[in-house]
Amino acid sequence: MSWPNQSTLSELFALGLILPPFVALLALGSWGFLVRIPRERTVAAWVRACFTIWLGSTLALGILLELKSATDPFILVSFGHWFEAEHYGFGLSLRVDRLSGVFSALTAVIGGLIGRFSYTYMHREPGFFRFFLLLLLFTSGMNLLVLAGSIDLLFAGWELVGLSSVLLIGFFHERATPVESALRAFVTYRVFDTGLLVGAVLLHHFAHTADFESAFGAAHWPLGTSHLDAFAATVVAVPLIVGAMGKSAQFPASGWLPRAMEGPTNSSALFYGALSVHAGVYLLLRLGPLLEVSPIARVFIGAVGLATALYGSTVGRVTADAKGQLAYATMAQVGVMWVEIALGLQTIVLVHVVGHAFLRTWQLLRTPSLIHDAHHAGLKEIWHPDRRGHVLEGLLSEELRGRLYALATARFYLDDLIDLRIVQPVLALAERVRRLENRWMALLTGGPLGDENTSIAPQSAAAFSRKERAPQAGEGAPR
């Protein structure tokens, strides 16, 4: 192991953000699966010891202070290679610079706050132990994602974040709606993550490396120089943008985000208000040098962000439930961030991310108290409704407003289209694979074929859509 660019203290700070949650995950998981499920106090003690607000915040603050006084543009912690084949090696390295330092600090502070909030919020919940295992898995994956020194290691963290996200959406698996919402998010992730995989392969092909240092130069973020020409940069960037669209719920991959609110409120705040939904923004910020030489990629980013901002703002205004409104508001704000990235305003985007993450976390954690607040408000909300945007509404005719309202209520039929073209075909394929596996196992063992009537795929895309829209996400989930 070598530490090339900074003091050992700085490298220990970086390792301290990744290892404690991972160690707690392994220890608690091994004990729970091999011995017995630990009590709430034991789980809370482990989480407090390895994943606390003060520990993570102190380590992240130490990184930021080191970066401020450092002469080198970044801190690189290298563990050699996981494996090597001919001229290729899968490098294990962590890169700490201004971008990853801010995101790691954000992960530490908000993750610690959600963890402390969850001790009380999840008290006596049957899935208490399972929730904190997934919380530790997400934290390890998110830290790996933002501190990765290569596109390969970033992809590993990306998948850990997606896995924990899907499992927490379906946390209340005794009800059908959360399971269906988790399946929809899983299919969306799988389809759009293909773009990230293709982009990583193309980066290997054109740049002959997966390391950000070699591909984008050793300069202070957001500076950097890509060695690719405009054509190669565009070919590499577009699939990576597609991958970011799925994680950040950008148009047209937006329908899964409101349904993700079927999970516990504290996980919704962590994933879809603060951290996971901004993973796509982080990826685009990391690819800044690549976007500088690809105007087509920047136009693509701006168009997707603008379409998402308009879609989220319009549909969010007619959404009835509080968590659904916050989901569409988050979607719209992330779309604005994409427009800012397209305009080259990287520093403004970073400030926007931090402010938006803390605001959405507070709003989502407050949603269970909205009924209590409404009782205290009395009739004020009835007689003094919110009139934001009434000036813009006045520019439209009454007939056009009515049509726009109808389209927004139906979510512009975007979800039906996604269900028909993406979700239903993928689930149908999974069902065929399941039946084929049952037949193959029956042939090998000589046993019965199994339950052929059990299906994981809906009968049709329209039926799947109707199930997910009634009730809307969040209406039937008290948590």
Tokens representing 321 are 């439930």
Mean pLDDT of 160-164: 90
Mean pLDDT of 385-394: 56
Phi and psi at residue 396, in whole multiples of 5°?
-100, 150
DSSP annotation string for 311-330: HHHHHHTT--SHHHHHHHHH
Quick one: pLDDT band at residue 342, thresholds 50, 70, 90?
A: very high
> 116, 50 in Cβ contact below 8 A?
no
Tokens representing 98 are 């201004």
Say what the pLDDT of residue 469 is.
43
Say what the pLDDT of residue 303 is.
94
Say what the pLDDT of residue 383 is.
39
In the block, tokens 């092909």 appear at 205
User: Is pLDDT at 340 greater than 90 in this prediction?
Assistant: yes
Domain boundaries, the chain: 1-149
Say what the pLDDT of residue 182 is.
87
> 60, 109 in Cβ contact below 8 A?
yes
Instruction: Give percent above pLDDT 90 in the chain.
Output: 14
Say what the pLDDT of residue 308 is.
92
> 75, 5 in Cβ contact below 8 A?
yes
Say what the pLDDT of residue 135 is.
86
Going by DSSP bridges, is the β-strand pair 88-96/75-85 parallel, antiparallel, or unpaired?
A: antiparallel
Burial pattern 268-281, b for ≥16 Cβ within 10 A else e, equals bbbbbbbbbbbbbb
Tokens representing 94 are 């962590």
* pTM for the structure as a whole: 0.82
What is the average pLDDT score of the chain? 77
User: Is pLDDT at 66 greater than 90 in this prediction?
Assistant: no
Spatial distance between the Cα atoms of 268 and 473, rounded to a whole number of angstroms: 12
For residue 387, the 8-state DSSP code is: -
User: Is pLDDT at 56 greater than 70 in this prediction?
Assistant: no
> 210, 150 in Cβ contact below 8 A?
yes
Spatial distance between the Cα atoms of 238 and 391, rounded to a whole number of angstroms: 37
Q: What is the pLDDT of residues 402-447, one digit of tens each?
A: 777 777 777 777 777 777 777 788 888 888 888 888 888 888 877 6
Phi and psi at residue 209, in whole multiples of 5°?
-165, 160
Spatial distance between the Cα atoms of 474 and 472, rounded to a whole number of angstroms: 6
User: Is pLDDT at 313 greater than 90 in this prediction?
Assistant: no
Q: What is the pLDDT of residues 118-142, one digit of tens each?
A: 888 888 888 888 888 888 888 888 8
In residues, how long is the chain?
479
User: Is pLDDT at 361 greater than 70 in this prediction?
Assistant: yes
Q: What is the pLDDT of residues 281-305, one digit of tens each?
A: 999 998 888 888 889 999 999 999 9
